[in-house]
Structure formats: structure tokens, C-alpha cells
Amino acid sequence: MNPTDKFVQKLRARRPVTDRQQTLIEGLSDDVRFHKRGTDLAETGEQPGESLLVIDGVSCRYKDFADGRRQIIEMNVPGDFIDLHAYVLNRLDHSIMVLSDCHVLHVPHEKIRDAMSVDVDLAEIIWHQTIIDAAIHREWVCSLGIRSATERLAAFFCELTVRLSVVGIIDGFRYPFKLSQSDLSDFCGMTHVHTNRTLGVMDRANLLRFRHEEVEILDWPALKEVAAFDYTYLDLPDGYALPFG
């Protein structure tokens, strides 16, 4: 079990990865660190020297505003490589925080650059992930722009379920997920009160249950329907089989 395993699995879900490429990835770093929930891993304005690979737990990118409001921009789950390419930027325009206790692999930027220059195909595979991340952002823009509270939560849990299943963490409709309703609200752009009420409605409608740090998808087809969920944007190959419908 190498800390990069889930990342490689995510890559393999889209494209072939050779053993040589896998070895290159495994050689990137062995610097695994534990971070307690609520810890900032990078802060706005910094020029970080490393990228971060989530091994377990949940982390996020977020921006704080002067009046105390916070928007979570992106949620990261195991296998996600955060800021794979931050090294091309001058300074970070946002912060990164772990939303649950987390194990994270720290990878110096130059190691990534080296691996990509050694193997040009690997470079393209890695860039591919960055492009998929952009597609995930685009979908979330839609959620925030036109989806109602219910639709938005449905879209979130649909995407989460697919993403976790692609890295092999789950294979069904019931799984642990350590995220507070309050953090979820900051991602969804709604108040924690409204999130709570909406989750209550969805539970009673037998769509979805999220409590005690556990997600239970009660009716997957209905949930997809509510969200108008079409996971083309995750760029899985045509015919890629999810362990569920």
C-alpha cells in the first residue's frame, strides 16, 4: 500500500498508466503527515513549495472574506492531488484546510516537474487530471448558479459518490463521510440552518440520509433525477462501470 495508490487508481480510471509511470509517481515523496481537523495547510498569499495528495479524510480550498464569510471552493477526497500545478502561479489566491483529521502526502514541486520531464506521456496524464478538476468546477458553478438547495445537495452527493467509488473507497450506497453540516453549507453557499432543514426534507423523502458522519443514498435514481446529474463531466471512459447503476 503506497500513499499514491488511490491517485494512480484515479488516473487508471481514465487512461492506461504504465508500471514505469506508476514507479515514477510512487517515487515522488514518502513524506506522509497527519493533520488535525481545522488545520490550514496553506494560506492566501503564500508561495507554497509543495503539492498535497490527500490520503484519507477531507480537505478543501476556500476563500475568506473580510466580513467573516467563507466560501469553500472545492472539496478534496482521498486520491485528490491538490494544486498539482500551483508552482506556475505567483501566489496562492486561496487557502487550503483539512475539514476532518487527515493524512496527507507532501510532494515538493520540483519532484513533480522532474517526473513530468522524464516522461512526457506522464505529463499529459497528470495534466488531464487538472482539466478534469476544471470540469468539476464548471459543474459546481452550475450548482451555485441555478440549482435550488435540494438540487444542489443532491448534485453534491451524486458527485461525491461517483468520485469515492472511482478511487475504490466505497462500493455501495452507504459510507462514512466526516464533514460537518456547517462546512457543507459553506461549500453549497447556504446557511447551516437551511442545509439542515433541506437535509431533513430529503431524508423524509427517502432520497438521502446524511447524519452521524455517514452518507446513505436511499434512492439513487431519484437522487440523480433531482440533481439532473449527468457525470459526463467527470470524463470517465464510455462504458466505464461503476459498482452501482
Partner DNA sequence: CGGGGTTTTGACATGGGTCAAGGAACGTGG
Partner DNA sequence: CCACGTTCCTTGACCCATGTCAAAACCCCG
Restricting to residues 123-152, which ones interact with DNA according to CB under 7 A? Answer: 148-150
Instruction: Show the binding pattern over residues 171-210: x = contacts its own copies (CB under 8 A), - = does not.
Output: -----------------xx---------------------
Q: Which contiguous run of DSSP H or E holds residue 104? A: strand 102-108
CB of 109 to DNA, least distance (A): 32
Confirm or reject binding of residue 181 to DNA (CB under 7 A). Answer: yes
Other Cβ atoms closer than 10 A to 184: 22
* ∠ Cα 6 8 13 (to 5°): 95
Asked whether the beta carbons of 90 and 107 are under 8 A apart, the reply is no
Q: Taking a C-beta distance cutoff of 8 angstroms, is the pair 71, 55 a contact?
A: no
Q: Do 240 and 165 form a contact (C-beta atoms < 8 A)? A: no
The one segment of 1-9, 65-73, 166-174, 209-217 that binds its own copies by CB under 8 A: 65-73
3-state secondary structure of 19: helix
Binds 118, which of DNA, its own copies, none (CB < 5 to 8 A, cut-off by type)? Answer: none
Smallest gap from residue 59 Cβ to its own copies (A): 15
Cα gap 133→161, rounded to integer Å: 16
- Compare residues 130 and 191 and give the one whose CB is closer to DNA: 191
Residues 6+ apart with CB under 8 A from 131: 235
Positions in the binding site for its own copies (CB under 8 A): 44-45, 61, 63, 65-66, 69-71, 73-74, 85-86, 88-91, 93-94, 117, 120, 124, 127-128, 130-135, 137-142, 144-146, 188-189, 228, 232-233, 235, 237-238
List interacting residues with DNA (CB under 7 A). 148-150, 180-182, 189-194, 196-200, 211-212
